Chains A and B, each alone.
Chain A
Amino acid sequence: MKWMLVAVIVAATALAELLQAMAMKRHGEIRDFRPGALGRLAALLARNKFILISFGALAVSFFAFMALLSVADLSFAVPATAASYVLETVLAKYLLQEHVSRGRWAGAWLVACGVAMLSL
């Protein structure tokens, strides 16, 4: 059950961040940081379906984290959620077609090994 909840958290977090990255890349770089412009940006993003689905995914991730804390140790639950770095790196490479450096792959592998060691 613990690992199933970790899988839900990691998948939902990665989905949320992927959708946010897609939405923000489509929007383009933000250059105007005046309060009025930020307010208009928030209103625009609140109508963006990618952003709305990403908020739903974040809610799923948070509730699954609460469920995980109710059945697992704090010292297991918090580091286990770092597995989302691994999935996000893979998704950034294959879905967003970002350039992923060797250093970043090495970091993602270290995180994956660390998460695997939590189960020992």
Chain B
Amino acid sequence: MNVRAARLRLKTRTFTALAILSSVFGNFSLSWGVRQVGSLVSLSPLTYVRAMFNPWVALGVSLLIVWLFSYMTLLSWADLSYVLPVTSIGYVLSALAGKMFLHEDISHWRWAGILCIVAGVALVARTAPYRSGATP
């Protein structure tokens, strides 16, 4: 039983890390790519299709597909009330990636807003219905 519990814990941690990292690096890569492409504000689908040929955009989209599958896989056994707050740390990591690699200027208000959002998501998750069975 202990071996099973340890394996479940390892599986949960691996998929949680995969979901967070693929989301943060996916968004970062997408952001880096679309900055090279230029403004994408357009109603024409061709603008977006053309942007997909940028390698950073393509990498970002691929990583976000990895995120979607790892997130859905994680939800198949872990509680939403565990998954939501843990993955919301991605908001903070995305901001850090923006600051460190894209040299974004983040005001105190923006940091406070991000922390407020993480706290809000954690509170929403606390009240989310529990799935019976597995514990992370």
Are A and B subunits of one complex? Answer: yes
Interface residues on B, range: 35 or more
Interface residues on A, range: 35 or more
Interface residue B124 (Cβ < 8 Å from any Cβ of A)? yes
Query: Please, which residues of chain B bring their CB within 8 A of the CB of A113?
Result: 113, 116, 120
With contacts defined as CB atoms under 8 Å apart, how many contacts are there between chain A and chain B in the complex?
134
Query: Please, which residues of chain B bring their CB within 8 A of the CB of A109?
Result: 120
Given contacts A67-B42, A69-B31, A73-B104, contact A79 B121 (CB under 8 A): no
Given contacts A110-B123, A120-B109, contact A74 B28 (CB under 8 A): yes
Given contacts A66-B40, A70-B40, contact A108 B90 (CB under 8 A): no
Task: Say yes or no: A111 contacts B124, CB within 8 Å.
Answer: yes
Given contacts A117-B113, A120-B113, contact A82 B91 (CB under 8 A): yes
Of all A-B residue pairs in the complex, the 7 with the closest CB atoms, nearest first, are A110-B120, A117-B113, A107-B123, A114-B116, A114-B117, A111-B120, A107-B124
Q: Is the interface of B mostly helix, strand, loop or mixed?
A: helix
Give the residue of B39, B41, B95, B127 whose beta carbon is less than 8 angstroms from that of A104: B127
Task: Say yes or no: B38 contacts A76, CB within 8 Å.
Answer: no
Which B residues form the contact surface with A (CB < 8 A)? 27-28, 30-31, 34-35, 37-42, 45, 48, 51, 57, 88, 90-91, 94-95, 97-99, 102, 104, 106-107, 109-110, 112-128
Which A residues form the contact surface with B (CB < 8 A)? 1, 5, 63, 66-67, 69-71, 73-79, 82, 85, 89, 101, 103-104, 106-118, 120
